[in-house]
Structure 1
């Protein structure tokens, strides 16, 4: 698994497998956001199964499944809310990492748009 640093608090990767969870815990990842729908590919672990294993390693998981290029405002809000509440650092993943990164970028933009202006 290839992990890419976006910020000190957010990283992305392609599909996470069961054997990756221990490595991620050892690397200090506290939370994972999955942007991949279940059954997108036949050999992909189901989110609920990964979440159960992650819980045993004290890693929280959030599922924000989107199809490529189809993130809705609700998806961005759900991601942004999870990002704000989950313990960091967070790993976002999907098939390649790009949907996770896009959700992060869209939520950052939405947050900046709604931030109160300084006086």
Structure 2
């Protein structure tokens, strides 16, 4: 597993599999957000299968599929709500962790300095400097 922390209570990862769930729990995560649409993965990794395995381990599961290049305001709201409702650290996954880090950035944009957001995603291996204008626009619309 390749877990990359963006903050003390939020990390991203490429696709996880059912055999990874004990490690996710052991790492202290209490909520897992799936940002990957079912159309991208085999049936055994569809959200319903992952929900069943994750909830069986005593963790909370949130399905919030983000299609590449087609993130919506609903995606941002769902991610924000899931993060706010979490009773511990959150792990969000998609194909590479990139979409999960972008949606986190949009959630944080209204309340966190953009340079801090970009520094966090860069430390995690995601260069979102090209998205600065979109993050700024989203933050200004959220005021």
Pairs aligned (count): 115
TM-score (norm 1): 0.88
The residue that corresponds to 1:50 in the other structure is: 50
CA displacement at 1:100 relative to structure 2: 0.6
Shift of 1:7: 0.5
| Runs of 5+ consecutive residues of structure 1 not aligned to the other structure | none
The normalised TM-score by structure 2 is 0.74
* Corresponding residue for residue 29 of structure 1: 29
Higher RCO by CA contacts (8 Å cutoff, separation 6 or greater): 1
* Separation in structure 1 between the aligned mates of residue 89 and residue 17 of structure 2, nearest angstrom: 18
Deviation by residue 1:49-86 (Cα, 9 ceiling, x = unmatched): 11111111111010110111211111111111111112
Q: Which has the higher helix share?
A: 2
Structure 2, unmatched stretches of 5+, are 113-138
Runs of 4+, deviation exceeding 2 Å: 41-44, 110-115
Q: Which stretch of structure 1 is more off in the superposition, 88-97 or 106-115?
A: 106-115
Match status 1:88 vs 2:91: no
- For the residues of structure 2 that align with 1:9 and 1:31, how far apart are their CA atoms? 10
Deviation at 1:110, TM superposition (A): 4.0
